[in-house]
Chains A and B, each alone.
Chain A
Amino acid sequence: MIWFTILLVVLVLAALWASMATALLRATLGLALTSALLAVVMYALGATLAAVIELSVCAGLITVVLVSVTSLTQPRTFKEALAARRSRLRRFWPLPFVLLAAGIGLSFVRVPVDIVLKVPAADGDVRTVLWSLRQLDLFGQILILLAGVFGVLVLFRKEAK
């Protein structure tokens, strides 16, 4: 239980790092770390298929796409980066404390109603899930990636002008 709590705390810290980082590359690494840790949490909870997809798509493929796009941008100067970091720290420094306080506060809350949670269905065979049950959603994912490609083309064609 202890290691699981530590894992969750590290997960939140990684997510905070991803949100607070002023450099795109660091934010991307933070996001990849968050996804990888989330995949471990999912695996530990028995959601093997979700863990595999989280690790391969979110921590893998998306990170590659984000790093590629980041490589097309102009880096900030040291002064600009420093100013952005200071500004962000000024605005968001209470965020970790608020999250911590909320977490501690919620741990004392007892839900007044008697909710019986259903156990989600088992993952089943990956091929069956992807190719038979959720083929439509897989098709949708392809379309989202295609739209993303157009996004990169549109935005960076503009930059080139």
Chain B
Amino acid sequence: MSHLLLLVPFAAVLLLNVLPKRARVAGIWIAFGVLVLETAAAFIAKFGWVDLSALASLDQVFRFHLAPDGLSELLILCAGLVGMASLLVAWKTSHEVEERFTFANLVLIALVGINGIAMVHDLFSLYVFVEITAVATFILITTRRTGEHGIQAFEGAWKYILLSVVASVLMLLGIAFFFLSADGISLDAVRQALATGAPLAWVATTLFLCGLFVKGALVPFHGWLADAYTAAPAPVSVFMAGIVTKASGIFALLRLAQEALHGAAPGREILLVGGAVTIVIGALLALTQTNMKRMLAYSSISQMGYIVLALGGDLSLGILAAGFHFFNHAVSKSQLFANAAAIEKELGTLDMTQMGGLGSRMPVTAGTAAVASLSIAGLPPLAGFWSKLLIVLALWKAGEYSFAAVAILASLVTLAYFLVLQRNVFFGKREDRWAAVHETATGLLVPAVALAAVTIALGVGFPFALKVLLGGGA
């Protein structure tokens, strides 16, 4: 089935482009159908609901070296959920058929990249699929808006391209050094080279990690993210914040930590220090923002620091905690960006200094935003609480008490900036000019409500979720 996860979105792109022009209106729903299949595939792979042995002959036609595992299922599930949410947001916020058609095509291309990242165990293939995702995203950022917004979008995409090129160079240099120091570039070969303590293998690892830090927008390589998220059209922000940055930077780090680094120094120290610095700087920067999307962007940086920090803790518990937080953050952050899309659609601005008292006018948006904010801040019994608890436990078990303390204290800062967001947007006195504002369209509420329900269900049903995660060998 793993081949189909690459071939079906690719075939869908080809199909979309041979359809007559008048049928392009259906493009977004064809892409939605592919994403429904993608989400179902994660469950089919996990629970074995369908017998797919008949598809084994695909291996003889396509010699793709793919090896999906529990982590792959996690990323595939996240991509399916976030992709569906972003398409629904595009349906309600994009008014041109051509724009929605382009968005659907590029989401499908990015989906091939993300699915590839999920299933490969070879550094060069990993690099190729990271690049597919990145190239599709550069274009996604510039798909809409003319005038000043168009220039901002172009600037955001340009910054993303420039830093991505730096990341590519670092990753390729790392791969070149692995060619010289290891018996190949499979993650298994890399692990063996690192186990011998070969200095060149560690230089290669450091270069590759730096490349992934840029792709994942970890401090000090975070400069591009806030501009790209803020300048991108609403559905693109949902897609980028929910899955793109995580898949191309953070998931690759997860994979490397699980299969190659194995908790060895100095890789572990790089992850601990990089993660802690990213958490603190990201949270402090979020605290100072007045634009809602910008605040959410810096919050994303901070939360990705948590995932990286977990990888520096106890190996098995750390991978589990990082994977769980990865999923929680993908769901909650894409939901918050969907909330931001709803607010921007109704108010025409995301400047929080101009808002206030919207809770009574947009109760569903306010309620779902509160669920996601509190989950990311780590309040029980929401899903984010459990993943942060697992992160602290992973650090504690590894004897990293000071880093565990940083994780706990930074959660307070997270809570602080989300309370600021809630107060500025949904509480307080409402300005007269927003008196006529009403709840947004149902189509925009569907992704927000569905994702908030996932956050609540996963928090309340945590023992079951933990059992599933452990069963997947993540």
Contacts and interface: CB of A to CB of B under 8 A. Distances in A.
Contacts of A151: 135, 138-139
A155 B136 contact: no
Nearest to B139: A151
Contacts of A146: 13, 109
Contacts, number: 85
A161 B150 CA distance: 13
Contacts of A121: 184
B10 interface: yes
Interface residues of A, number: 28
Contacts of B65: 136
Contacts of A115: 181, 198-200
A87 interface: no
B135 A147 contact: yes
A144 B132 contact: yes
Contact of A150 (B63, B105, B182): B105
Interface of B: 6, 10, 13, 62-66, 98, 102, 105-106, 109, 112-113, 116, 120, 124-125, 128-129, 131-132, 135-136, 138-139, 142-143, 146, 150, 179-184, 198-200
A147 B199 contact: no
Contacts of B6: 139
Given A131-B63, A144-B135, A154-B139, A137 B124 contact: yes
B146 A158 contact: yes
26 contacts: A113-B199, A115-B181, A115-B198, A118-B183, A136-B63, A136-B64, A137-B125, A139-B10, A139-B62, A140-B116, A140-B125, A140-B128, A140-B129, A140-B131, A143-B132, A144-B128, A144-B135, A146-B109, A147-B106, A147-B132, A147-B139, A150-B105, A150-B136, A150-B139, A151-B138, A153-B102
A132 B63 contact: yes
A135 interface: yes
A104 interface: no
A117 interface: yes
A115 B180 CA distance: 10
A118 B13 contact: no
5 closest A-B pairs (Cβ-Cβ)?
Answer: A140-B128, A147-B135, A151-B139, A136-B64, A135-B63
Given A136-B120, A140-B131, A144-B132, 4 more contacts: A135-B62, A144-B135, A147-B135, A151-B135
